Structure 1
Amino acid sequence: MVAARTAPNRSVRFGGERGVLDRRGLRDAAVLASVLDDTGKLTVGPEVSAVQTASAIRPSFVVDSALTSLDVGGWQGLGPEAVPQVDLGAWFTDPDWTGHGGESVTAFVARIRGATAAIDAEVLVVAGPVAQALLCGAPDNFFSTEVRPASVHIAAL
């Protein structure tokens, strides 16, 4: 399950998933609660948006810092228009690129897959990039894997 929307998500900012839910995000999180039964262990990424989404679903869950979203280094909080186009191009085409000073997509996907292999949970609530890492198949497919805030996906962990 992908965490609901934040204001920085809406305005397309790197790291926007780390903010608080906006009004629509709060409403969408409440809808998620109506489609998920309250059985099974719920594990949540540490971002505020993931914790707020999980709180709307049920009162009891485990926060796992190993499910932290992609580290975008110096791009944190920036919009794509503030990043040199050559750097954006490199990031989107080379999953090993780390020119922003953060984590490569390859390292991120490996980290998230390793973390989920060690988790005993039936339901995860995670930031969008974490869901992409779980669903992409391979790092080369990360950016073509689309997830939306407050969406539900099924994956074998």
Structure 2
Amino acid sequence: MTSRITLITPASNRSLREARFDDGSPLDPSGRTRAEASASRLGAADRVLVSPTARCLETAAALGLSAVPEPAAAGLDMGRWRGLTLDEVMAREPDAVMSWLTDPDAVPHGGEPVRALCERAAGWLAASAAVEGRTLAVVEQEFVRALAVTVLDAPGPAFWRLDVPPLTATELSGRSGRWNLRLGRELESEGR
């Protein structure tokens, strides 16, 4: 059985624009407008899921999706760094940031290590492989990166080398253990 999964990243908000660890801020007007303009370009899905973050929930709504919250597809828990920019944390805790960026098991922020996110994403993908048909999920960029690392069987530090822009589609097709990956298709350019 072949499974098809399309992952949509959230539209822009203040946190994304400012490179701030998610602080629960809402979509900005331009992000909402872009998502609304992309709504007709998604195609049908057998199930529609959404990460429980504010920007994912709002993106799903702007896309006109009736999505079921999926806690396993949540973004990386940034603990006490939540709401701060990387520059702010780097100014206060440079050694902690360097540890976090080089060691997938590091948790200087008290949240979730990158390796745990990758393992959670791998578990979600394995469970999704058992679902027939097409899944559409609005998820955080770091969840997409964790899935890419998993599918490519890449080393943990590769997580930091993947750039996943807002409001793009990443497509997975295949079955557990063997997946094809298509990264970063812009929703707005589809059908042009």
User: Equivalent residue of 2:34, what SS?
Assistant: helix
User: Equivalent residue of 1:118, what SS?
Assistant: helix
User: Equivalent residue of 2:171, what SS?
Assistant: coil
Larger radius of gyration: 2
User: Equivalent residue of 1:155, what SS?
Assistant: strand
Indicate the percent of aligned positions where both proteins have the same amino acid.
31
Of residues 96, 117, 120, the one that matches 2:105 is 96
Whether the 8 Å contact between 2:48 and 2:65 is mirrored in structure 1 is: no
Question: What aligned pairs does 1:12-91 form with structure 2 within 5 A after superposition?
Answer: 12-16=19-23, 18-83=24-89, 84-91=93-100
Q: CA deviation at 1:59?
A: 4.0
In structure 2, runs of 5+ residues without a counterpart are 1-7, 177-192
Structure with the bigger percentage of strand: 2
CA–CA separation in structure 2 for the residues paired with 1:40 and 1:28: 24
Match in the other structure for 1:147:
164
- TM-score for the superposition, normalised by structure 2: 0.75
Of residues 108, 124, 127, the one that matches 2:117 is 108
CA–CA separation in structure 1 for the residues paired with 2:50 and 2:126: 15
CA–CA separation in structure 2 for the residues paired with 1:2 and 1:40: 19
Aligned length in residues: 156
Superposition CA RMSD, Å: 1.7
Q: CA deviation at 1:150?
A: 0.5
User: Equivalent residue of 1:154, what SS?
Assistant: strand
The runs of at least 4 aligned residues of structure 1 exceeding 4 Å deviation read none
Amino acid in structure 2 at the alignment position of 1:4: A
User: How has the CA–CA distance of structure 1 residues 34 and 95 changed in structure 2, closer, same or farther, with 3 Å as cutoff?
Assistant: same
